[in-house]
Amino acid sequence: MLEVEGLSKRFGGLAALSEVNLSIEAGEIVSLIGPNGAGKTTCLNLITGFYKPSAGRVHYCERDITGCAPHAIAQRGLVRTFQKTNVLRGLSVFGNVLTARYRQGETSLLRTFFAQGGKRERELRDEAAALIETVGLASRMNAAADSLSCGELRLLEVAVALGASPRLLMLDEPAAGLNTHEAEQLGQVLKRLMNTHLESMLLVEHNMALVMAVSDRIVVLDFGRKIAEGTPAEIRVNPAVVAAYLGKPAA
């Protein structure tokens, strides 16, 4: 579904990402982990068009999307969330998700001004309400987004991303700031979404419990390079990964 070949990004003299290969098949949850500064978010930004790569190609559903604009990539069904929680803070929970249905609603300007869009608009509202129920925020439907707790905001962020009808969803540290219980619930929501709403998922995450619980495959980055790839069980015992996180044992 997603093929990333030799993806590299330099910021001046700093190689944030070097020659990373990555693939995601339909039906898979792949996690991208690594110590701080390993290049995880950079990798996400490159795939979703927020950065332009210095080298390498990104293919999504047999199409080369390298260098496409972020909104164009999102319109094809590759949707991401952000590390620092990002929602439309001035709107309600419902307004956020309704807005996120933009591409599924009436986008023609002529019809916006001159036609009655009542039916489609009602469908959009029902779909948005259903998505909010899916992530478990139904009781907060009309709350202002900036009144939500950290955990609720993360769920809202997922609902907003779902609003754009993604096929491949990329989550950037969705469990940051959550306690163990909240992270577990988030994991359940994500797994459920794989059966109902999504084809694949890429998870960038530091919370190892969550990563181990949901991932089919894990890719490990360190200093902008891929140092390991495998199932959760393989990664747990991989010496390179242990060294990257804990340092090498003294000689």
Cβ(163)–Cβ(91) below 8 Å = no
Among 18-26, 30-38, 97-105, 214-222, the segment contacting another protein (CB under 8 A)? 97-105
Backbone angles phi, psi at 114, to 5 degrees: -115, -10
Q: Which residues of 60-78 are buried (b: 16+ CB within 10 A; e: fewer)?
A: beeeebbebeeeebbeebb
- Roughly how many angstroms between the first and final C-alpha of the chain, as a whole number? 43
Percent of the chain as helix, strand, coil, to the nearest 5: 40, 25, 35
Residue 133 corresponds to which tokens in the numbers above? 């129920």
Cα gap 121→167, rounded to integer Å? 23
Cα gap 68→73, rounded to integer Å? 7
Q: Which residue in 92, 225, 227, 232 binds another protein (CB under 8 A)?
A: 92
Cα gap 76→91, rounded to integer Å? 26
Chain center to CA of 121: 27
Give the contact letters, 125-154, x = binds to another protein (CB under 8 A), - = no. Answer: xx-xx---xx-xxxxxxxxx--x-x-xx--
In the bound state with another protein, the residue whose beta carbon lies nearer, of 202 and 241, is 202
> Is 182 an interacting residue with respect to another protein (CB under 8 A)?
yes
In the bound state with another protein, the residue whose beta carbon lies nearer, of 203 and 220, is 203
Cβ(187)–Cβ(2) below 8 Å = no
Among 31-39, 53-61, 74-82, 231-239, the segment contacting another protein (CB under 8 A)? 74-82
In the bound state with another protein, the residue whose beta carbon lies nearer, of 117 and 239, is 117
Calculate the CA dihedral of residues 233, 236, 21, 60 and round it to 10 degrees.
50
Q: At closest approach, how far in Å is the CB of 149 from another protein?
A: 5
> Is 90 an interacting residue with respect to another protein (CB under 8 A)?
yes
> Is 189 an interacting residue with respect to another protein (CB under 8 A)?
yes
> Is 87 an interacting residue with respect to another protein (CB under 8 A)?
yes
Q: At closest approach, how far in Å is the CB of 245 from another protein?
A: 29
**Amino acid letter, residue 103:** R
> Is 83 an interacting residue with respect to another protein (CB under 8 A)?
no
Give the contact letters, 32-71, x = binds to another protein (CB under 8 A), - = no. Answer: ----------------x-x------------------xxx
Q: Give the binding site for another protein (CB under 8 A).
A: 48, 50, 69-72, 74-75, 79-82, 86-92, 94-95, 98-103, 105-107, 109, 112-113, 117, 121-122, 124-126, 128-129, 133-134, 136-144, 147, 149, 151-152, 155, 160-161, 163-164, 182, 185, 188-189, 192
